[in-house]
Amino acid sequence: LLTRILTASCRRYPSRPSLASALDSLYGAHIDANLEKQGDMQSVTISAVGLQRWTDRTSPFADVVSLLFDVLLDPLVDEQGHFDHLITESERSNLIMEWKTRENDRLKYAYDSCMREICGDQPQGISALGDPDLISQITQEDLKKAYEDLLYNMQIDCFVGSGGNQPKLMESIIGHLSRLPAKKRPVYRPGLTPSKFVPAGPIAKTEQKELAQARIILAYHGLPPYFSTQVMKANMCNSMLGGEVHSLLFDVVREQMGLAYQVFSMNQRYLSMVLMLAGVAPEKTSEAKTAMQAQIAKLASGQFSDQLFTRSRKMLRTSILSMRDDLSSIMSHQMSALTHGRVFSVDDMLSLLDQVTKEDVMQIAAGLKLIADYTLTSYLPDSSMPLPDKTGNSCLPADNCAANRDKEEEMQ
């Protein structure tokens, strides 16, 4: 709620229409706020995007940066430090509506419900949007304290992406940064990274709602930690499993067997998990689960084609190379490096990708343990796939990169 209020106005432009008009006058510039959950860490990103130069040799981007710091450091508050009441209530209503919209999306509802079961009372289970039941209870004092925490008690880092050497722009940004409280000027504090996650489980849960298409989520734990160089092996495994349209889940479960309208997989980097998600006919949930688990068994036993392996490597290579062509991707990569505690260049990542072997993929898949079997359906299925026993042995049948990150962030 705080980030929405901050980006709705400032003292210089005391309403959302006036702020929007000011941004429009800067040739379509925009200021956005984004909340992201990274394991047990919450990150708030407030960003400014604008043209670097215009035909009259002015710099709209410099003006947008100035406006960004006004939004952050000179908000519309009264003498008690309370935010404008009308803006607060408007943004509160918008946030409540966003929650209702999310709950009406059956896939996102299933994802949220499954993650709550997996995480239990651990902070990793808290939604990036917060708790919907508490939105109406947030007071002006709560918002005031949250704003003070943002400036005084949280780590703040500044990233700038622009073409070429821009000494005047950098001088201006450094001047704006000096407006931050003295102890909060950007200093990287090593060690501020997500902590290790231990999932609750094993878990089996079935929910019933009025729907035509059932949703399945199967969660496996055992991926390498997010900061490991073996993450590229996990990306390859996910790409072959269900991260791309040529993957086993798509080609076998959807196309050949016709068991799913939608099926894919994604890595949960900070939880060391891979999720398989599917939309299926309610009467086919059990059959679909069996088929989905069989694809992990294929990867673990090496029963996959050279073509699948080669295509996945090619897709990941293209994804990595494309980062050089997009400034926002470069920025996101550098920002993630702080969270991960290490920086890989594009050449580093390509080198790691080239070193991945079929045996590596088999090893990653073989180390996965089923920890959650979640179904959202219109009725209780006749049977459910068994979960790992108390020894942690997975009862599998006998017989990722930028795209993956986008899926993960969309689900969150």
**Backbone phi and psi for residue 104, each to the nearest 5 degrees, phi listed first:** -80, -15
pLDDT for position 398:
30
Whether residue 356 contacts residue 236, with contact meaning beta carbons closer than 8 Å, is answered with yes
**pLDDT beneath 50: ranges in the chain:** 184-186, 188, 381-400
Give the DSSP per-residue string, 255-284. Answer: IIS---SEEEEEEEGGGTEEEEEEEE-GGG
Instruction: Characterize 184-198 residue by residue with b for buried, 16 or more Cβ atoms within 10 angstroms of its Cβ, and e for exposed.
Output: eeeeeeeeebbeebe
- pLDDT (0 to 100) of residue 402: 54
d(CA 140, CA 71): 18
Q: What is the pTM of this model?
A: 0.85
Alpha-helical segments (H) within 178-220: none
What confidence score (pLDDT) does residue 289 get?
97
CB 370 within 8 A of CB 395: yes
* Burial (Cβ within 10 Å: 0-12, 13-18, ≥19) of residue 363: middle
Which amino acid belongs to residue 311?
A: R
Percent of the chain residues topping a pLDDT of 90: 63
Q: Write down how long the chain is.
A: 412
pLDDT computed for residue 155 by the predictor: 79
Mind listing the pLDDT tens digit for each residue in 100-113?
Answer: 999 899 999 999 99
